[in-house]
Amino acid sequence: MADYTLLHLLPLICLLTSSTVAQNNGNISIGSSLTATDRTTPWLSPSGDFAFGFQQLQNNKDLFMLSIWFHKLPDQTIVWYPWNVDPLPRGTKLELTSDRGLVLSNSENSSIWSTNSIADEVSYGFFNDTGNFVLARSDSVNIWQSFDNPTDTLLPTQIINVATNFFYKAYFATATWDAANSSNAGYQLIFNEMGSMYVLKRSNERYFLHPTQPALPASDYYLRATLNFDGKALWSLPENICADIVGGEGNKGSGPCGYNSVFRLNEYQRPICECPRGYSLLDPNDKYGSCKPSFIQSCDEYKLGSPEDLYDFVEIIDTDWPTSDFERFNPYSEEDCRNSCLKDCFCAVAIYRDNSCWMKKLSLSYGRKDTNLKSKAFVKFRKGDVPPQTRSPSPPVSEPKKKKNGALILVGSVLLGSSVFINFVLIGATCLGFFFIYHKKIAKIPQINDVVGSNLRCFTYKELAEATNGFKQELGRGAFGIVYKGELPIGSTNIIAVKKLDRVTQDDYKEFKTEVNVIGQTHHKNLVRLLGFCDEGQHRLLVYEYLSNGTLAGYLFGDPKPSWDKRTQIALGIAKGLSYLHEECSTQIIHCDIKPQNILLDEYYNARISDFGLAKLLMINQSRTNTGIRGTKGYVAPEWFRNTPITVKVDVYSFGVLLMEIISCRRSLEGLEAGGDGGREILTDWVWDCFQEGTLEDLVQDDIEALDDVKKLEKFVMVGIWCIQEDPSLRPTMGKVSQMLEGVVEVTVPPCPYPFSITV
């Protein structure tokens, strides 16, 4: 079991007498409901220790959270909430129903969230004194409970079962997996009534996560284990996060704090995240989040002047980002270390320690401050962009500035004392001079400098030609170019994929800039990461991370057929990636060409959306655009052919087709060119026929795993049919698609997807 965060226990902060509001036995009957208002009384556990209902937000009295909280504590600390439900407006209703369990609906009676994954009819609800809300059958068997759906808090008696492997390297692990004897592996994390937390092995052996027994019975104390940094730490793992963070290939992600941040422990061994000088929080409200630099360093700026004139360093003691190195020099002097970083346009920070120099580039990961490091960090900043800590209210004017001011005053005096004609001549000459100087500077900066992705590396064509061995090994090709495999000379795992545009027309260059700009602004686990680009002369290339398992097309339509579980996880990953592009980016992005060839798979077969060359961008206040037909035959939404505005719903349509391919492991137009095979030529038609006729087993044929999971199969098919509705307004958003696939939102029976078309 591995965890990326701390576990803390909260001691009793307020003892209350038992003279509380009169309690029932904790039973909640079918038909009971709560409404989000200021005066609604929540459902209480028998002792009144816990409350379940709507808690009003402190910073917005018109918004509420459906949650469970410590009812008797002054601050009413929340211990559970539906993790995928946003703050709710006044008037939202929660009702206990027999067929869907708990149902959360808005004022228009539309469902927002429910526990509809339950298989049996609910007879009643029970809210017990452990803080667990339970839905039960008539024979008192539990069929849903909040303890099985944790968020950021564990309560005594709560058990967490093994879920999934987490591919980021852990800085703490219990190592309770026994490869030699898998039957004795750890399979449950238990938080018991005495405040102990341990991993239970199948042999009933216990592996405790703390050195001594806390002995804090839940009957005398309110206890909780959280994934946050609040509460008084009675014990924590690891004991010193700073000391346990080590550099290495496996350390992915930002670390305990965000990117470009620095982590340290205070005197109480509590974590503190800080931005280094010259950086500020990306989100001012997230003190544990990433930090952004005060300037964006560009290699092209080095052409405009010497590095010494452009940049300087802020020196920080005992600070390092151990996983962000791209170069090391040894032996080296401190002055050589500074100069090397100063002259390298990729270097953002240099670390000097023990006659060695480590050069680092953005994004900086696993930043830490520790007196044991005995190091100096030289953090680069552009002159004029003074770090916030050193900025003064009214900086003194430097000597060169005084001289420039003097020259301007002299010109003014000459003009005032000259004839009108001479004045015009001088003004014209001055303006013309400024024009040529300005034009010369602008001409030196390539157009691609408007790229927002501040962490993208600018490669030379020679570098990429050498990295790909003369563009020798082809990985694939698309409408705009060929992708080659390459390897950078720095490091041992720098395998890359280089996309080389094979045409250099004005339209292609526009697509090139689009792709760089789009991917440079995105960051999501289900999107392919762009590492850099080349914009040199007629050469236009994009450099991506290399994904070892190729395209979804090769995986999906190959032999043997991928497992049902793996296919459903891939479908969910694609949905979440599209939801991010459509709903979470500041500039809404329509991909326009979703298909199996544009979905790549990493080493763990996680889906990663690629190829944004056709992407269409929408500003926040836009919802649709007009453009020529884009996409691939078999995945193109009907509105492309109707000269109607294009919205994100074209991606939803393409995803629906792709989802059907994932379900059936068949291509969308399989056999069409060869004359077909009995009505299965067009996959979307065949899926609709199978759904209508109740023969979904035909879609998966001999796939035993899928046939044993017939409810999920039916749900995925219905989601796919909703996505390919001919009327775009009937298609769900990708956010809702994700929720439907996860079972969070109920999937209703879809109508005929093409009521406006005649199908043969």
pLDDT higher at 8 or 625:
625
- Sketch the domain layout of the chain as residue ranges: 8-226, 262-389, 449-545, 552-742
687-706: pLDDT as tens digits: 999 999 999 999 998 899 99
Residue 238's pLDDT is what?
55
Distance CA 22, CA 227 (A): 33
pTM of structure: 0.44
**How many angstroms separate the CA atoms of 377 and 321, rounded?**
9
Count Cβ atoms within 10 A of the Cβ of residue 349 and give its class: 0-12 exposed, 13-18 middle, 19 or more buried.
buried
Quickly count: other Cβ atoms within 10 Å of residue 146's Cβ: 24
Q: Which range, 178-182, 240-244, 341-345, 469-473, has the best average confidence (pLDDT)?
A: 469-473
The C-alpha atoms of residue 197 and residue 227 are separated, in whole angstroms, by 14
Q: Is the pLDDT of residue 622 over 70?
A: no
Which residue in 593, 602, 651, 703 is the catalytic one? 593
Q: Is 500 annotated as a binding residue?
A: yes
What is the model's pLDDT at position 225?
Answer: 82
Fold category of 8-226 in CATH:
Agglutinin, subunit A (2.90.10)
**Mean pLDDT score, 285-300:** 79
Q: How far apart are CA 473 and CA 517, in angstroms?
A: 27
Architecture of the domain defined by 552-742:
Orthogonal Bundle (1.10)
Extract the tokens encoding 466: 């050498």
What is the pLDDT, as a whole number, of residue 65?
A: 93
Q: Are 527 and 519 in contact (CB under 8 A)?
A: yes
pLDDT above 90 (res 599): yes
Average pLDDT over residues 720-748: 93
Cβ–Cβ under 8 Å, residues 97 and 108: no
Of 32-41, 490-499, 553-562, 688-697, the least confident: 490-499
Residue 51: which pLDDT band, with cuts at 50, 70 and 90?
A: very high
Residue 431: per-residue pLDDT? 46
Across residues 382-401, what is the average pLDDT? 43
CA 134/CA 193 separation, integer angstroms = 19
- Out of 1.20.1250.20, 3.30.70.1450, 3.90.550.10, 3.30.200.20, which CATH number does the structure's domain 449-545 have? 3.30.200.20
The residues with which 496 forms a beta bridge, in sequence order, are 486, 545
Higher-scoring residue by pLDDT: 211, 453:
211
CA gap 263, 321 in Å, rounded? 10
DSSP labels for 207-235?
EESSSS-----TTTS---EESSS-S--SS
Q: Residue 386 has what pLDDT?
A: 47
Q: Which residues contact 500 (CB under 8 A, 6 or more apart)?
A: 471, 481, 482, 483, 484, 539, 540, 541
* Out of 116-120, 267-271, 412-416, 597-601, least confident range: 412-416
Cβ neighbours around 284 below 10 Å, total:
8
Segment holding 689, helix H or strand E: helix 683-693
641-696 pLDDT per residue, tens: 776 778 889 999 999 999 999 999 999 987 544 344 445 678 999 999 999 999 99
Position 139 scores a pLDDT of 87
Least confident segment among 22-36, 65-79, 387-401, 573-587? 387-401
- pLDDT (tens digit per residue) in 158-196: 988 877 555 455 556 777 776 566 677 888 888 888 878
CA distance 271 to 291: 16
**Three-state SS annotation for 369-413:** ECHHHCCEEEEEEECCCCCHHHCCCCCCCCHHHHHHHHHHHHHHH
Q: Is the pLDDT of residue 221 over 80?
A: no
Question: Is-contact 590 625, C-beta < 8 A?
Answer: yes
593 is a catalytic site residue:
yes
Q: Is the pLDDT of residue 19 over 70?
A: no
**What pLDDT is stored for residue 239 in this prediction?**
59
Least confident of 256-260, 354-358, 679-683: 679-683
